Amino acid sequence: MQLTQILDQVLPLPESSRDKIVQRVYETNFAKNLLLMKAGRVEHCLYFIKSGIVRAYADKDDHEITFWFGSEGATIVSMNSYVAGKPGYEHIELLEPCVLYVLRAEELQQLYREDLQIANWGRKFAEKELIKTEERLISRQFKTAAQRYRELMADSPALLQRVPLSHIASYLGITQVSLSRIRSEIR
């Protein structure tokens, strides 16, 4: 997915404002299994996914809990670093080779100060991220694992083909055995 398409998903910008962002972004390739972000560090970049898939997870006791997947068009950001300049709590792992657009958070903050349109884009970005987080929280609290799996099938069918079942089970908050049972009941 092209950078301009990704930016416009958040909020269409005037061409002059969009160009200011595009000029500060560079494209790079990363290998599968790379830990792009590590918990406990302040992250200084935002990433937009041109191609590939990633997961966000946190460590709990002796296992990992996956709480987010991102694929083409998604933005990878440690919100704690982006908003508060504090260390993030998440790890970001690349589940496939990825092509990412990279933007330094410091440069984006400077653009917010210089261009009202870009500042509005940033506000809209934060609002959309908040809504996605709220939807995940509500889903986790009020829906069964089977309902969440059906929702995942409907909303992101390709994800189920590209992500290991162990990560899907973790995302749903269940064991792989329970996921296998749900999958067999749905068939």
Q: What averages of pLDDT result for each successive group of 10 residues across the chain (187 residues)?
A: 96 97 98 97 97 96 93 96 94 98 97 98 96 91 92 91 95 93 90
- Tell me what pLDDT residue 186 has: 87
Does residue 148 lie in a domain region? no
pLDDT of residue 187: 80
Q: Is residue 103 part of a domain?
A: yes
The CATH code of the domain that includes 93 is: 2.60.120.10
pLDDT at 140: 87
Residue ranges making up the domain that contains 83: 3-142
Examine residue 171 and state whether it is found in any structural domain, yes or no: no
The answer as to whether 118 is a domain residue is: yes
H/E segment holding residue 108: helix 105-114
pLDDT of residue 120: 98
Has residue 168 been placed in a domain?
Answer: no
Q: Is the pTM of this model over 0.85?
A: yes
Q: Is residue 154 part of a domain?
A: no
Report d(CA 8, CA 24) in Å as an integer. Answer: 16
Overall domain count for the chain: 1
In a domain, 68, yes or no: yes
Q: How far apart are CA 9 and CA 54, in angstroms?
A: 19
DSSP letter at 71 equals -
